[in-house]
Amino acid sequence: MPSFDHELQVRLFHNHPDLAPRMLRDTVGFPVPAYARAELGCSDHTKLKPTPFKSDNVIVLYDDTGAKTLAIITEVQLRKADDKLYSWPLYAATVWQIVKCPVKLMVLCPDAATERWARTPITFEFEGATLTPAVIGPSNTPEIKDSDQARELPELAVLSAAAHGDKAEVLKAAEAALDSVPEDTRLIYNDFILSKLNAAARRMWEDLMTTGTYEWQSDFARKYVSQGRELGLVEKQREVILQLLDERGIAMSPDDRVRINACDDLDRLETWFHRAITATTVDEVFG
């Protein structure tokens, strides 16, 4: 069953086929021919039943005359999988046979170990031929810091934030990019970015969203910033109540602590806090 991470990154190319040639040209340095448009092609490479062979995406580039100039196979590879060393050449050969134009395989990897593995050329046991994937990973994913650039290609800004979310400029650009896509899509992209941030980067994102140090310009941020502030206040109030009761020596059972930590009603928490100042038992706090 494909994971959320895998399907989200597959969708980035599905939503914006121009992402593939742009990354192949600008990030990998592959000489992409001039093209007028990029379209999704057929990613089903099944030739013999019952074994199916299907890549994540195929993007076909066309010139001004409508002629095909390049087909790009995009594969999201979350971990090492040696069976891909046999299926990837099949993908390339099958697409080449179908579209009858040059083909390039591009692989997206989330970590350095998978990136190193994917960069190894695949050598066939006949004729000495090799297939060398174009690999996008942490080492070469571009840092998108310009908001205009992020809005132009939001999916690239999403990948940039996932790889470089420890940089505030990258997160700000990603926020601008989210405002340029439909709401259902921006929520999914936001979830993906958050899932990739480490603890420090998450705090940076939350600080940006809940403080006045940065004035968010997008409708997306303005819609959710108030929710983020309220959530931060709720969490802080829980911590203060527990700390106050501990310092005053008020005995609490595990269930009492669970009850406080489970409360998300800010008004109720404030009431408990005022009671905790003078209460002699936890029951007096809960009233």
**Model confidence over 9-63: pLDDT tens digits?**
888 888 889 999 999 999 999 999 999 999 988 777 655 444 566 889 999 999 9
The pLDDT-based confidence of 245 (bands split at 50, 70, 90) is confident
SS3 label, residue 40: strand
Tokens of 217: 């310009």
Which positions ≥6 away from 188 have C-beta within 8 Å? 8, 11
Long-range pairs for 240-248 at CB < 8 Å and ≥24 separation? 240/273, 241/269, 241/272, 241/273, 241/276, 241/285, 244/273, 244/276, 244/277, 245/276, 245/282, 245/285, 248/276
pLDDT tens digits along 167-211: 889 998 988 888 888 877 877 887 788 778 887 787 776 665 555
**pLDDT more than 90, % of the chain:** 41
**pLDDT, mean of residues 244-267:** 87
Domain residue ranges of the chain, discontinuous segments joined by +:
4-136, 147-209, 228-286
User: Percent helix, strand, coil in the chain (nearest 5)?
Assistant: 55, 10, 35
CA distances from 21 to 13, 39, 199, 287 (A): 10, 11, 33, 64
Sign of CA pseudo-dihedral 4, 194, 25, 120? negative
Question: How much is the pLDDT for 74?
Answer: 94
CB 160 within 8 A of CB 173: yes
Q: In this model, does residue 141 exceed pLDDT 80?
A: yes
Q: Once rounded to an integer, what is the mean pLDDT over residues 58-75?
A: 94
Query: If residue 116 lies in a helix (H) or strand (E), which one and from where to where?
Result: helix 112-119
Phi-psi domain of 157 (left: phi exceeds 0; alpha: psi -120 through 50; beta: other): alpha
Query: CA-to-CA distance for 56 and 189, rounded, in angstroms?
Result: 18
Top pLDDT among 116 and 201 is at 116
Contact 114, 79 (CB under 8 A): yes
Are the C-beta atoms of 92 and 71 separated by less than 8 Å?
A: no
- 73 beta partners: 58, 105
